[in-house]
Chains A and B, each alone.
Chain A
């Protein structure tokens, strides 16, 4: 990719805490995203994987400021849209034309009382992209055509569609404003196996056609590896490893990434039975009281005293391959 070197989005020390009531006068915070730093290059797909509750969805939403960050810095194409130190919080409307999101559950993210045409057209109206009624109608039809729906579908309601078709409507809505960057938040996990690959292929085609940049969030690492140029692995709100996707899957450095990869059942009886698993003890700890030091130390088979006290930093271990683990220092 020629534009690979050009940074589109820069995220620095991004934090998102949600406050919860712990008692009458005590407040506690869910540390959903804790000091995450990374960049997304123009035209690439950055995949985010991790278990449920690791903060990958929150991170995706915070970057486009659907959640207001707690602190940190987000720069979009050279313009800071949020900076807690310089007290910058940009007006998002012009940026919403450039950044869009596709949600996980297509049926919950489409207004059941609006027709598909209205859903897709709403974005056009908000940004004043169409002057006349005819132009608006043409544009809606064009968008539906792009995502593989018929133009007569514009007059139907979301419940009249199957899950895969509803997700196509969600994609058409995101594309309506001709964005540069789309957060795909588990866009295929609610779909049937045979429909998933249709949507994955469509997302790939659209990216090639319109030079889109994706942040692709999913828990299914096989799908993420397939679609992404680079993959970030998250654990309890932190990025523990970030690398080019094939590099990450063939040479995972962080013990968590290694476990995650070995846990995936392979659709190949001989290989999957020969697969030696690294099994993790227990469950993911609560992000309200995250473990001290390295957040993975409670489940890590290699944990030492240093891991319990000192937090490892995300460091470049080989060109383009970042990992946060004390083991890799020595």
Chain B
């Protein structure tokens, strides 16, 4: 990818949690680039490391979690080398985040306006208090909150779930960050409200040219909003590519499995779902070979011995599976 066009570059990132039971490698060597004005989806089940990965970009990883290797470069600067003060300036200013449950992320004892203005004043953009308040009202209007003049003095509990999420988005975007990390922003919402928030995010993305990392387990949401998709399983990215390639020509057995096991509204006939058998692996005792091997229908001997490397399937479309290298390795499927 062209150097100028890369906003965020993650290389071989490793994050571990040091628990009494042992080291849990939540993220185990992932790499990707994110361009300006690009929306990337990270899909995975709970425990796949998708949130942990995002938290480490913004420096919100909590003990006992620690980045154990790799680099995160934002516009060419290594974020992992930032001091706490540099991180504070970086966070919210250049990168901000919205979370799954807005109620737990808004402070219940301050008004919405207070919290919006605080976000602005923290980053010293040269606003006076009045200007900051005007800007906060403008942001609330932008995210579709009616009667923003009055709403700005209300407390989070006076807002409904959908409106709280809108307020969160307003707060995240008030400093005009270049990157927005959205961690399951619609999972806690009803479908009709989810639709409103998705339309809002698509609209804002166009207006503000913000890059977005969209973390979710909902394939429908990914198909709708993302340009590129990374599929994560047990701490690894197992497939990555443009959204159309992932949905129409999935290469990795796990991605294929996810798509086949999702009931679809747009299919006329009733087909039996094809589930992925088994359960996600225990990250305390990861398998020696491919993490998905124990659940994979096409598992071969080599899959249980060695981790598969990435194979390029198409332009910008990579997948880590031994099946793609079947000819070279001369392995036969076990089943």
Contacts and interface: CB of A to CB of B under 8 A. Distances in A.
A279 interface: yes
Contacts of A196: 261
A263 B190 CA distance: 10
Contacts of B46: 192
A205 B195 CA distance: 33
Contacts of B121: none
Nearest to A249: B265
A309 interface: no
Nearest to B261: A197
B55 interface: no
Contacts of A195: 275, 279
A231 B90 CA distance: 50
A283 B160 contact: yes
B220 A266 contact: yes
A246 B279 CA distance: 32
Contacts of A271: 266
Given A269-B244, A283-B163, A52 B190 contact: yes
Interface stretch (A21-29, A217-225, A315-323): A217-225
A273 B261 CA distance: 22
B193 interface: yes
A201 interface: yes
A222 B265 contact: yes
B155 interface: no
B262 A197 contact: yes
A294 to B, nearest CB: 17
Nearest to B221: A265
A131 interface: no
Contact of B224 (A200, A221, A246, A273): A273
Given A198-B275, A268-B247, A280 B258 contact: no
B199 interface: yes
B191 A267 contact: no
B264 A222 contact: yes
Interface in B233-250: 243-244, 247-248
A166 B199 CA distance: 36
A269 B275 contact: no
B23 interface: no
Nearest to A164: B279
A226 B273 contact: yes
Interface residues of A, number: 45
A263 B192 contact: yes
A171 to B, nearest CB: 15
Interface residues of B, number: 46
Given A200-B273, A263-B194, A193 B262 contact: yes
A225 B268 contact: no
Nearest to B160: A283
Given A272-B224, A279-B196, A263 B191 contact: yes
A225 B265 CA distance: 8
Among A194, A225, A249, A277, residue most surrounded by chain B Cβ atoms (within 10 Å): A194
Interface in B131-188: 160-163
A93 interface: no
A265 B223 contact: yes
B198 A265 contact: yes
Contacts of B264: 222, 266-268
A31 B160 CA distance: 19
B45 interface: yes
Nearest to B191: A263
Contact of B265 (A193, A266, A273, A280): A266
A162 interface: yes
B325 interface: no
A222 B277 contact: no
Contacts of B248: 269
B169 to A, nearest CB: 16
B217 interface: yes
Contact of B192 (A197, A223, A225, A260): A260
B219 to A, nearest CB: 4
Contacts of A267: 219-220, 222-223, 247, 259, 262, 264
A164 B276 CA distance: 12
B139 to A, nearest CB: 20
A1 interface: no
A261 B46 CA distance: 26
A261 B263 CA distance: 14
Contacts of B190: 51-52, 219, 284
A20 interface: no
Contacts of B261: 193-194, 196-197
A108 interface: no
B223 A277 contact: no
A263 B162 CA distance: 14
B45 A192 contact: yes
A273 B39 CA distance: 14
A259 B219 contact: no
A265 B244 contact: no
B45 A259 contact: no
Contacts of A265: 194-195, 198, 218, 220-221, 223-224
B289 interface: no
B217 A193 contact: yes
Interface string A269-301: 111110101011001100000000000000000
B45 A194 contact: yes
A264 interface: yes
B74 to A, nearest CB: 28
B272 interface: yes
Given A193-B261, A194-B275, A269 B224 contact: yes
B195 A279 contact: yes
12 contacts: A52-B190, A193-B219, A195-B275, A196-B261, A197-B262, A197-B273, A262-B195, A267-B219, A267-B264, A268-B266, A269-B224, A272-B224
The 8 A-B pairs with the shortest beta carbon distances in the complex, nearest first, are A265-B220, A197-B261, A263-B195, A226-B263, A197-B275, A267-B219, A197-B273, A51-B190
Interface of A: 51-52, 162, 164-165, 192-198, 200-201, 204, 219, 221-223, 225-226, 246, 249-250, 259-273, 275, 277, 279-280, 283-284
